[in-house]
């Protein structure tokens, strides 16, 4: 399931929804991304996430479908917030359930790695020294590419 | 065609979208960006470093060689920073 929303989410509620009533689930893996209070030497006051409505949902659905093709998963969830957030706020949650831990753990790692570079979001940080756009990190591109199979990297 | 701008491309353009007829001689995204850069200082400022501009045609991520047509939705934006 894909959710793109401004409002916060409850990790407990969301993970329970993935597992309750399904006793074939042997494991659930979850990653939650939060707004940090420091970027370099600056303290962050707010982070505003902008996205491309329509394309965002399409990209997230593609990433989710890719995960379900590669791993043996029972269910998946991607929640991504947009709008203005403060340090400590949750930004993103990815979760996967499977019969065995490896599928859930690896797919969760994959989901967040591909989200970083393939989901059309842009982050504007307001700091004590003014506003600046968060730049794409070379490390994120490397993390994306380690999941590419046989040179195939569907956009 | 409809053009959409996001991130610092949007800020430098001073607008988030506009409608435009496909300029003469434009066949692909690279041609389009070159044509836009001639339209004014804000376009030149937003698009002068083509290596930093990413593009989607009809909400599909693509590259500078992608064909463009008059009924397309074309988005120009910086590298994405999701997650």
Per-residue model confidence as pLDDT tens digits over B37-60 = 999 999 999 999 999 999 999 999
User: What average pLDDT does the segment A96-103 reach?
Assistant: 97
Total-model pTM = 0.93
Question: pLDDT-derived band of residue A152, with 50, 70 and 90 as boundaries?
Answer: low
Which chain B residue shows the shortest CA-CA distance from A118?
B80
CB pairs under 8 A between A and B: 73
Question: pLDDT-derived band of residue A93, with 50, 70 and 90 as boundaries?
Answer: very high
Interchain pair B56, A120: CB under 8 A: yes
State phi, psi for A108 to the nearest 5 degrees.
Answer: -65, -45
pLDDT on residue A154: 66
d(CA B77, CA A54): 15
CA atoms within 13 Å, Cβ hemisphere of A121: 27
d(CA B29, CA B62): 9
The Cα of B78 is separated from the nearest Cα of chain A by a number of Å equal to: 8
Q: How many CB atoms lie within 10 A of CB B79?
A: 16
Chain B residues with a Cβ under 8 Å from any Cβ in chain A: 4, 6-8, 10, 56, 59-62, 75, 77-83
The Cα of B81 is separated from the nearest Cα of chain A by a number of Å equal to: 5
Interchain pair A52, B77: CB under 8 A: yes
d(CA A154, CA A146): 13
With beta carbons less than 8 A apart as the criterion, state whether A72 and A103 touch: yes
Contact of A90 with chain B, judged by CB distance below 8 Å, is answered with no
Assign A101 to helix, strand or coil. Answer: helix
Give yes or no for residue A151 having a pLDDT over 80: no
d(CA B40, CA A96): 48
d(CA B22, CA B18): 12
pLDDT on residue A40: 80
State phi, psi for A67 to the nearest 5 degrees.
Answer: -60, -40
Interaxial angle between packed helices A101-118 and A138-145, expressed in degrees from 0 to 180 and rounded to the nearest 10 = 140
The Cα of B25 is separated from the nearest Cα of chain A by a number of Å equal to: 28
Assign A89 to helix, strand or coil. Answer: coil
Assign A13 to helix, strand or coil. Answer: helix
Q: How many CB atoms lie within 10 A of CB B15?
A: 11
Q: How far apart are the first and last CA of chain B?
A: 30
State phi, psi for A115 to the nearest 5 degrees.
Answer: -55, -40
Q: How does pLDDT run across B17-38, given as a tens digit for each residue?
A: 999 999 999 999 999 999 999 9
The Cα of B65 is separated from the nearest Cα of chain A by a number of Å equal to: 15
Q: How does pLDDT run across A19-49, given as a tens digit for each residue?
A: 999 999 999 999 999 999 988 888 999 999 9
CA atoms within 13 Å, Cβ hemisphere of A68: 13
Mean pLDDT of chain A: 94
Assign B50 to helix, strand or coil. Answer: helix
Interaxial angle between packed helices A55-70 and A101-118, expressed in degrees from 0 to 180 and rounded to the nearest 10 = 150
Interface test mutation site (partner B, options A39, A53, A55, A79, max chain B beta carbons within 10 A): A55
């Amino acid at each position: 399931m894909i959710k793109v929303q401004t409002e916060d989410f409850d990790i407990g509620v969301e993970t329970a929804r993935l597992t309750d009533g399904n006793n074939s689930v042997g494991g659930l893996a979850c990653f939650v991304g939060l707004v940090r209070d420091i970027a370099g030497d600056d303290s962050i006051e707010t982070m505003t996430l902008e996205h491309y409505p329509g394309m965002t949902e399409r990209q997230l659905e593609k990433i989710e479908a890719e995960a379900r093709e590669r791993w043996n998963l029972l269910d998946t969830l991607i929640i991504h917030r947009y709008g203005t957030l403060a340090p400590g706020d949750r930004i993103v949650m990815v979760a996967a359930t499977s019969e065995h831990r490896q599928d859930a753990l690896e797919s969760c790692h994959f989901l967040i790695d591909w989200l970083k570079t393939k989901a059309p979001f842009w982050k504007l940080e307001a700091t004590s020294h003014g506003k600046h756009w968060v730049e794409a990190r070379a490390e994120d591109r490397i993390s994306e590419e380690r999941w590419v199979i046989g040179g195939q990297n569907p956009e | 065609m409809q053009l959409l701008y996001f991130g610092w491309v949007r800020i430098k353009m001073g607008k988030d979208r506009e409608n435009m007829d496909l300029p003469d001689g434009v066949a692909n995204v690279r041609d389009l960006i070159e044509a836009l850069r001639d339209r004014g200082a804000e376009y030149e400022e937003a698009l002068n470093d083509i290596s930093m501009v990413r593009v989607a045609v009809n909400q599909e991520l693509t590259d500078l060689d992608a064909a463009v047509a008059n009924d397309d939705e074309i988005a120009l934006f910086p590298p994405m920073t999701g997650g």
